[in-house]
Structure 1
Amino acid sequence: MVLLTPVLLLSWVSLHNAAQAVAEICWGAHCYGGDTGDPRPCTGAHCPGSKSSRSPRQFNPTTHGRAAQIVASQHHAYPGSPKAASGPYPPVRGRQGDGGARTRAPEVLPAGCTDADCAPVVKQFQPVNETWDCRGIECRLPLRIRPRARAKLCVGEGCLSGSEESVSSAGSQMTPPVHLSDRAAQFLGDFPEFGYPSSDHGGAPLGVQLTCDIKPGENEVPSEDALILHLQLAKGQEKLVEALRGQQIIIRELQQKLADQQEALLSQQREILNQQRRMYEQMDVVKTQYGLLSDTVKQVSFQGLQGELQSYFESHLAGLQSQARSHLQKSYAVHKMDIDSKVMDVVGEAHFPQPLLGCPSPCGSEEYCDFQRDSPQCEKCTMCPPGFFLISQCSPTADRMCQDRDECLELPNICGEKVKCVNTPGGFRCLGISEREAVMGLCGHDYFYNQELQECQACSDCDGEPVTVPCTAITDAVCGHLSDSRLSQSWAANVGVPPARSPGAHIFPGLQLNIRGKESSDLLSNEAGRVTFLQHGLVWLDHNFAIKHSCRNFLQVGMRLNGSQEEESQDLSGVRIEQPDGKYFQGVSVSSGVEVEPNHTFTLLLKSPNQHCNQSKDLHVYDITTPAFSLFWLSHDTGAVAMTAQMSMLAHYQTSYRPTFRMTSVSDPYMISLTHDSRGVRFTESGVVKFVLQQALYSMGHTCIREGFSLIAYSSHNGTGQEEMRAFKTGVNYRDTSITLSGAVSVDSGDTLGFEITSPSQCNIRYFGDSTGISMLSLIWIPSALSSALTATVSKTGLPFGAVRNKPLLFQQIGPDKPQVHLAKSGEPNSRKNFIFHEKGTVNIALNLKLIHSCNIVKLTLQRVGGQGGQAGPVAQQVSGTMPEGSEWASIGLRASFQVQNGTALYVTLDCIRGRVNQITHEGGTNISILWVAV
């Protein structure tokens, strides 16, 4: 191995007044020429006498006397040039910003010399950061691929390093050339393993290839530091290779372990499969043994029984032997006894010597002993359904057997000659026959057309029961008596707030209000402050609530229905009570309609949106003397339909708003549907609609407080819209609140019901909507044959004003009288005051009142007078406080459900505490709606 020590040689040419000849410097036995790559003998005083182990070096002086930069990279040298055959050398460039300052290195002697006269002193010098001179298109090429200037050929001792003109022009700036052995060369000399033999293709003998492609002025490194850095990188690469090899060995070991584990897992799976196969074989053996044992037991039991009966008959009843054998064949030929069944009793002969094990008691005439159960017991004989015929009668040990009639086989032309007949269980189907043709009597006698299955079914046979509804072409027969079940029912209860468990109890998670009912009912049960329904049906719920609070933002009172264990809880509705600017009571009413099932649980909740509401300090609930909660139950026999829809949330602020609905539930989508723009509800048939709309909102602007909001309900008939009723709500500024409207209206087939919220022009409102019930529409449609609705407003004259103490309100009826209820007219007792009922039923009342007052407390009470002239008694009551500052109008309302008799009368009283009533408006927010349903 030949050790190559790269030496950095910087040659500078300096000419002053006298020309100094600098001979060509070379090592070894031959020198390389300037223009050709052929070796030639070395002449001159500077040629050493012995060979040097160092690689030959080449100098490329600049044309105008600038510092030469040696690019020593085998990959960057031009092919065929001397640089391609020489070893790689790192380029040397000056550092940017050094100001031209250079460090002068100590004088060193070249290899092979013993004194200073052997060779001129060479100084180690870093050239300035300049590029080669170029001409033409060469200036656009990168530095590493520009052609280098060739050094002039010089022979002899008197040769100069450059032309006389270039020397004379730059002689004042140049320093004499100094030769200095590079530290990198010494560093490489200490590591002989880096030397490699020369390549056969003319490559450099040095094994370390250095590439330096650095732009002028950026990240420049001295040549010796760059070489040391490259050597350290080479060492790091070797260590990295060794580390990768070690990791590969570890990976192979892990792969081998994984393969071993997989093999062990496969062996375990094979063992499990073998065990399962052996288990199946054992099960087959057990089944075979079980079958043999079963056959043996059957044979033994039957043989022993036959022997005993035969001996008994031969000794005592020889004449009945044939009858006993026929009885045994008839009794035991039908049933097949299992191995775990008990021994049967022989039924029908009370004088047998010993009874056998079977049913615990003798079965009746239309019953049989079912031995298929674990403990045999008597079951009722099956009746053959319509469209089936009898095969065998019911016996004490066997059920009745029936078989379907094949109408297509018995009556080949039942569907006509060109229509195919398909037999179905209990009926038949004629392919291609429309419902209209079936209504005309195509199914034939004792058959009706089932619209759901779209096939002809046999009419039900009442089998001795009275036929309530006979069989028609499209309906089946109804057997038995009509049930006397109730169509509607009401229930009322008081509501209270549970006491605080601790002085700092928060209501953020939700506070359940206690529902305490005094009446017991078969409709529901009232336990632990909640209501559990016991029957199917539709329920309308109303809750009157009055509270004074100082909680931040708002309070929310709502209704929740908890289903069975498989169903999730559902928030029916919710009303927000805004944060008051002062201390006064606020009265709100919450309503909802929903379809319920047995075991559904209903609760009332009060909650705050944050944890800054203290139950013991911030809540003051007004204790209403009348029941605050009431419900209205409707049976499914009435044909009523319930629907619930949600409103979407608006991201922008606006004034007037027509809500868009998204239907969440409906019990009969044929009867109730949304309009094409989802802004209204369409009804298929005429009836009475009980509805409630609750909308949560946030408003900004002083005009909101002064003028407030209005919620209007419209009905549209044949494209003509009409306002049915409206509710008023006092406005708020930078507050959350809710506006709600409830009432009952009569609709015809094809009518639609829509809503709109109006507000002042300079009032900005944001409307909310989610699944918690704060923005929802709930309604129940009831057929007209079982219900009626009456709407009225307050009278224009005779209304109470000033200091009002329990004075009745006078009303003016809107629309014609109803057969079930009317407002007392002039000439009748209590004219314009009492609403008189003429039929027994269940009633729901919704009252809205808009007024101006200065009372601290305003009470609105609904009074009832019995049909036999009994004393008046309060049915429902609502309370409100003082008017908000800056508001022109205030509102108060109540809702309730209760029972009425023939002759029952209702009226409303108003009470003002510590203040006076100034005005009650008869339009734009004052109305009363009455819904009556038969019981």
Structure 2
Amino acid sequence: MFLFRTESRESQSHRTLLKVEREIYITDAKMVLVTPVLLLLLSLISLQAVAEICRGTHCYGAETGDPRPCTGAHCPGSRSSRTPRQFNPTTQGRAAHVVASQHHAYHSSPRAASEAYPAVQTLRVRHSDSGSGARIKAPEVLPARCTDADCAALVKQLQPTNDTQDCRGIECRLPLRIRPKARAKSCVGEGCSSEESQPVHLSDRAAQFLGDFPELGYPSSELGGAPLGVQLTCDIKPGENEVPSEDALILHLQLAKGQEKLVEALRGQQMVIRDLQQKLADQQEALLSQQREILDQQRRMYEQMDVVKAQYGLLSDTVKQVSFQGLQAELQSYFESHLAGLQSQARSHLQKSYAVHKMDMDSKVMDVVGEANFPQPLLGCPSPCGKEEFCDFQRDPPQCEKCTMCPPGFFLISQCSPTADRMCQDRDECLEVPNICGERVKCLNTPGGFRCLGVSEREAMMGLCGHDYFYNQELQECQACSDCDGESVSSPCTAISDSVCGQPSESRLSQSWGGNVAVPPARTSGAHIFPGLQLNIRGKERIDLLSNEAGQVTFLQHGLVWLDHNFAIKHSCRNFLQVGMRLNGSQEEEGWDLSGVRIEQPDGKYFQGVSASSGVEVEPNQTFTLLLKSPNQHCNQSKDLHVYDITTPSFSLLWLSHDTGAVAMTAQMSLLTHYQTSYRPTFRLTSVSDPYMIIVTHDNRGVRFTESGVVKFVLQQALYSMGHTCIREGFSLIAYTNHNGTGQEAMQAFKTGVNYRDTSITLSGAVSVASGDTLSFEVTSPSQCNIRYFGDSTGISMLSLIWIPSAVSSALTATVSRTGLPFGAVRNKPLSFQQISPDTLQVHLARSGEPNSQKNFIFHEKGTANIALNLKLIHSCNIVKLTLQRVGGQGQQAGPVAQQVSGYMPEGSEWASIGLRASFPVQNGTAIYVTLDCIRGRVNQITHEGGTNISILWVAV
């Protein structure tokens, strides 16, 4: 019964081994690499296990109580301690390292290690039937009755040799205790012993050792594992358990070859980089060499130019030092010996052609031999030259020129001839007059004069220069007085000024000029005027005061200028339009705004007439332009602008010389505030030509004048109004003069109000002031009208004035007469005036008994006049025209001088206003008057009090 059970277990074990062999046959290549290491570790462990079995309580008979002595290979002392022949230190070291690492991974959980590798336990031990204390037993079973011969045979079989055919391949290298035992043959009969199936128990220590190293085992059969011994016979060939697998070697070789190729590629790239760096260095060196060559060529060119300059200086010195008798020979020899060499040198370095001239003074003919321009010699000028002229052969073609006059301080060495100019040489006063500057002062000769070193300006101005010499303050040297050569001397030579020849020129104190202004045509249908549109100024007269080109005015002389522009337009632009004046400096690209007047938005319903004015000091080459601007892009030049074409000149200027002693001043409004009812602006000076004559009062609300004279002024204030009462009653701008603490209204202008709109109010006039008088202004508005006043540097809120001495100017003011005012359908009717200011010698209003009484203003002296007219009225006219007419004086043509137009009265407004400004020349007997014309409507009323006045400024010429 016991034997049958043993055979069953052996057959079951054999089937398990075959199944494991089939599973191991398809295992991963990774297990093949680990197999040699595991074999060596198992060999060492088995040897120690056998030793423990033979020493411990589990030796043969220990469990069964067999008292027979133990003999055979498994008994103590039978095993040799000699190292096996297959021992390899390297392999053992690797196995020890693997075992140590695995033991470190599983030392904390022996149970996990035993569960992870159950195959090892299955191969070497089996569990006892008891569930509590499982003991590990050896799978081999020795016969119960073993003779010496049988034991020797059994010991021989258990030794790790391959003497028999029981083992194949690497199994022969395994210890006998773990080597797969050959399948026992079936035994039938009495000779069979039942003791062969008795199990032999292994040492507990060996089992614990294998349990601590779960990596030595294989996964359980439930997970697809297999016993160790069967796997080794399938996976590993004999003699190859100590080397890497073939795949690992191939991978290693491929990696090595890849690294070599990478190193070779990096070396090739390094060589390419070195070549590029070398080429770059060569190019840099070539560039540096080229730069050095260029610098050398420039240096040589400069040296040759210095040589040419030195030789030219030598030639000029030679001409000055030689006498007239040897001048021909010296010039001929010099040209022949030196200029030929200079020509070749200049041609080689400067690449220019120079002609060699040869002068024949005897035949009076100069032959010009040129390489390109003059292939044949020229005989002279096309026509014979006149007296005091010579033929200049240096021009192409030769032409006659006037002979040069010897300047003061030079003496004549050769007269002017038909082929040569007059030759002069500087007089050396230091040699001719010894001690001309004194015994202790050194004299230095200068062209046309001399200089005494160390002499103060005061000493020189006292007459140190001597007779026929004057002291030039700019050059700080003595210069010879000019010789008028028979002409009349208007101003003789003095110790500090040169003589002036000819008739004394007529000095002008004032002058006027006028021109028409037109809007340039739009370049495209959608052109906007947001950046600014320059208006074209076209003058009819040409004077030496200015030039009019490209629609702008360029000043040619110093002086003070008063500018006026009358402008009438109907527009549909959003917000407002602004017409202004701009002055650009001669040396600057950016200029500054002189004036700016805003034209409110009436939605294109009617024409609006505005006037812009300014006074400024100008310099030569400064340009003046008129600009039309919009604050946004919503203004189309071709669709939204309709300018009224005024027949008379709409632009005029009054120029004043510095000889008049006039003073100009400009100031800006210094506040941006809200006011109701009345507002007195404060000023901040921006420019004044004489701060002694014009100063600002202590509260900055007025201007004080040091001396008596006539003041021409203009005030322009930009504002934004809110309220319907603003439209009905409008605004007024009043100018006051204060004399000894007593204020008096001088001028007043009216402006129709607007609601939620931007607009401007402006006032211009001329008043006479005494020493210490002040000029101030005030803006009045309805009590329920809110106004915002603006002040900036764009000219929209500014004060500009010119003070003129009373000796050369006069002013007259008047208002319309109470009686005789035109009303109804008015067609070109003159206005009657009533004089307010006292009479002047230069101009007065025609009195009763004189022609056109109360209508004409008559001038009694030649000069330049400036008119400023303001008119406040009620009308229903489509167009209202205000024209300034002139009655001819001595040689003057009668006709209109200036004109301004205005359209319908704004809805809701009680009053309207219109005004004009102009400058023009007058003669003795010239008379002017003003006419009013109403088109398609009637004039209902013209006020004779505030808002209607005329001021006339007269300046001598």
Task: State the TM-score, normalized to the length of structure 2.
Answer: 0.55
For 2:681, the equivalent position in structure 1 comes to 658
- Partner of residue 922 from structure 2, selected from 881, 896, 900: 900
Using the TM superposition, give the Cα deviation of residue 809 of structure 1 relative to its aligned residue in structure 2, in angstroms.
2.1
- How many angstroms apart in 2 are the aligned matches of 1:816 and 1:493? 33
**SS state of the match for residue 410, structure 1?**
coil
Match for 1:809: what amino acid?
A: L
Using the TM superposition, give the Cα deviation of residue 834 of structure 1 relative to its aligned residue in structure 2, in angstroms.
0.7
Match for 2:815: what amino acid?
A: T
- Partner of residue 410 from structure 1, selected from 427, 431, 435: 435
For residues 663-742 of structure 1, the aligned pairs below 5 Å read 663=686, 675=696, 688-714=710-736, 723-742=745-764
- How many angstroms apart in 2 are the aligned matches of 1:518 and 1:875? 13
For 1:630, the equivalent position in structure 2 comes to 651
For 2:359, the equivalent position in structure 1 comes to 345
**SS state of the match for residue 345, structure 1?**
strand
**SS state of the match for residue 705, structure 1?**
helix
- How many angstroms apart in 2 are the aligned matches of 1:400 and 1:682? 59
- How many angstroms apart in 1 are the aligned matches of 2:884 and 2:443? 65
Cα distance 1:295–1:467, how it changes in 2: closer, same or farther (>3 A)? closer
- How many angstroms apart in 1 are the aligned matches of 2:637 and 2:296? 71
- How many angstroms apart in 2 are the aligned matches of 1:772 and 1:273? 55
Cα distance 1:720–1:325, how it changes in 2: closer, same or farther (>3 A)? same
Using the TM superposition, give the Cα deviation of residue 906 of structure 1 relative to its aligned residue in structure 2, in angstroms.
0.9
Deviations 1:119-149 (A, max 9, x none): xxxxxxxxxxxxxxxxxxxxxxxxxxxxxxx
Cα distance 1:742–1:394, how it changes in 2: closer, same or farther (>3 A)? farther
Residues 550 and 618 in structure 1, CA contact (< 8 A), matched pair in contact too: yes
For residues 745-760 of structure 1, the aligned pairs below 5 Å read 745-746=767-768, 755-760=777-782
- How many angstroms apart in 1 are the aligned matches of 2:789 and 2:952? 30
Deviations 1:197-230 (A, max 9, x none): xxxxxxxxxxxxxxxxxxxxxxxxxxxxxxxxxx
For 1:467, the equivalent position in structure 2 comes to 489
- How many angstroms apart in 1 are the aligned matches of 2:424 and 2:463? 32
Residues 640 and 783 in structure 1, CA contact (< 8 A), matched pair in contact too: yes
Residues 392 and 402 in structure 1, CA contact (< 8 A), matched pair in contact too: no
Question: Comparing 902-911 with 854-863, which one deviates more in the overlay?
Answer: 854-863
For 1:126, the equivalent position in structure 2 comes to none
1:817 aligns with 2:842: no
Cα distance 1:281–1:930, how it changes in 2: closer, same or farther (>3 A)? closer
- How many angstroms apart in 1 are the aligned matches of 2:442 and 2:328? 48
For 2:849, the equivalent position in structure 1 comes to 827
For 1:171, the equivalent position in structure 2 comes to none
Using the TM superposition, give the Cα deviation of residue 326 of structure 1 relative to its aligned residue in structure 2, in angstroms.
4.0
Cα distance 1:402–1:619, how it changes in 2: closer, same or farther (>3 A)? same
For residues 67-106 of structure 1, the aligned pairs below 5 Å read none
Using the TM superposition, give the Cα deviation of residue 413 of structure 1 relative to its aligned residue in structure 2, in angstroms.
6.2
Match for 1:328: what amino acid?
A: Q
- Partner of residue 401 from structure 1, selected from 400, 403, 425: 425
Residues 649 and 767 in structure 1, CA contact (< 8 A), matched pair in contact too: no
For 2:3, the equivalent position in structure 1 comes to none
For residues 422-571 of structure 1, the aligned pairs below 5 Å read 426=449, 459-472=481-494, 475-483=497-505, 489-497=511-519, 506-513=528-535, 530-531=551-552, 533=554, 535-536=556-557, 540-560=562-582, 567-568=589-590, 571=593
- How many angstroms apart in 2 are the aligned matches of 1:870 and 1:353? 58
1:609 aligns with 2:634: no
For 2:92, the equivalent position in structure 1 comes to none
Deviations 1:575-626 (A, max 9, x none): 21112389333211123445678887655443432333445554444444x3
Give the number of aligned pairs. Answer: 660
Q: Structure 1 regions of 5+ residues with no counterpart?
A: 1-107, 119-188, 191-253, 297-322
For 2:859, the equivalent position in structure 1 comes to 837
Residues 814 and 833 in structure 2, CA contact (< 8 A), matched pair in contact too: yes
Cα distance 1:283–1:934, how it changes in 2: closer, same or farther (>3 A)? closer
**Over the residues paired in the alignment, what is the CA RMSD in angstroms?**
5.7
- Partner of residue 788 from structure 2, selected from 766, 777, 791: 766
Residues 681 and 753 in structure 1, CA contact (< 8 A), matched pair in contact too: yes
Cα distance 1:422–1:675, how it changes in 2: closer, same or farther (>3 A)? farther
Residues 648 and 662 in structure 1, CA contact (< 8 A), matched pair in contact too: no
- How many angstroms apart in 1 are the aligned matches of 2:497 and 2:723? 62
Deviations 1:509-567 (A, max 9, x none): 54555556666777777777x25558546654433222333432112223456777974
Cα distance 1:788–1:270, how it changes in 2: closer, same or farther (>3 A)? farther
Deviations 1:7-66 (A, max 9, x none): xxxxxxxxxxxxxxxxxxxxxxxxxxxxxxxxxxxxxxxxxxxxxxxxxxxxxxxxxxxx
Cα distance 1:705–1:907, how it changes in 2: closer, same or farther (>3 A)? same
**SS state of the match for residue 343, structure 1?**
strand
- How many angstroms apart in 1 are the aligned matches of 2:661 and 2:809? 10
Residues 789 and 930 in structure 1, CA contact (< 8 A), matched pair in contact too: yes
Deviations 1:342-370 (A, max 9, x none): 223132x3389999979956999978999
For 1:875, the equivalent position in structure 2 comes to 897
- How many angstroms apart in 1 are the aligned matches of 2:305 and 2:328? 26
- How many angstroms apart in 1 are the aligned matches of 2:310 and 2:872? 90
Match for 2:357: what amino acid?
A: V
Match for 1:632: what amino acid?
A: L
Task: State the TM-score, normalized to the length of structure 1.
Answer: 0.57
Using the TM superposition, give the Cα deviation of residue 675 of structure 1 relative to its aligned residue in structure 2, in angstroms.
3.9
Cα distance 1:586–1:267, how it changes in 2: closer, same or farther (>3 A)? same
For residues 137-148 of structure 1, the aligned pairs below 5 Å read none
For 2:328, the equivalent position in structure 1 comes to 328
Cα distance 1:543–1:332, how it changes in 2: closer, same or farther (>3 A)? same
Using the TM superposition, give the Cα deviation of residue 816 of structure 1 relative to its aligned residue in structure 2, in angstroms.
3.5
Residues 732 and 749 in structure 2, CA contact (< 8 A), matched pair in contact too: yes
Cα distance 1:645–1:486, how it changes in 2: closer, same or farther (>3 A)? closer
Cα distance 1:351–1:710, how it changes in 2: closer, same or farther (>3 A)? closer
- Partner of residue 865 from structure 1, selected from 865, 882, 887: 887
Using the TM superposition, give the Cα deviation of residue 411 of structure 1 relative to its aligned residue in structure 2, in angstroms.
4.7
1:928 aligns with 2:935: no
Residues 366 and 379 in structure 2, CA contact (< 8 A), matched pair in contact too: no
**SS state of the match for residue 674, structure 2?**
coil
Cα distance 1:554–1:566, how it changes in 2: closer, same or farther (>3 A)? closer
Using the TM superposition, give the Cα deviation of residue 833 of structure 1 relative to its aligned residue in structure 2, in angstroms.
1.4
Match for 1:344: what amino acid?
A: K
Residues 495 and 627 in structure 1, CA contact (< 8 A), matched pair in contact too: no
Residues 665 and 802 in structure 2, CA contact (< 8 A), matched pair in contact too: no
- How many angstroms apart in 2 are the aligned matches of 1:289 and 1:477? 45
- How many angstroms apart in 1 are the aligned matches of 2:366 and 2:822? 96
Using the TM superposition, give the Cα deviation of residue 860 of structure 1 relative to its aligned residue in structure 2, in angstroms.
1.9
